Amino acid sequence: MMAALELVNLRKDRVAVRAEIEVSRSERLAYEQEGIQTREALARSEAYCRALEARVAVLETRVRRLEW
């Protein structure tokens, strides 16, 4: 049978492991949120770039028509 001190140490180890698991979960959640925000920012940036490219195409067309 385990000594009382060994049982106390096992309980402390278990509490420490659970705390470490919670910290890891929190860090993972923060990392996932950061990834979501990064992907959203990229999507906005790409949409803005496409809008600018469309605007350039319109302006180039107008210039060509004026040159005729």
What distance in Å separates the CA atoms of residue 47 and residue 53, rounded to the nearest whole number?
10
**Biggest CA-to-CA distance, the chain:** 99
**3 phi and psi, to 5 degrees?**
-75, 155
Q: What is the mean pLDDT of residues 41-53?
A: 99
The pTM for the full model equals 0.65
pLDDT (tens digit, 9 = 90+) per residue, 12-40?
899 999 999 999 999 999 999 999 999 99
Q: What is the mean pLDDT of the chain?
A: 94
Which is higher by pLDDT, 62 or 7? 62
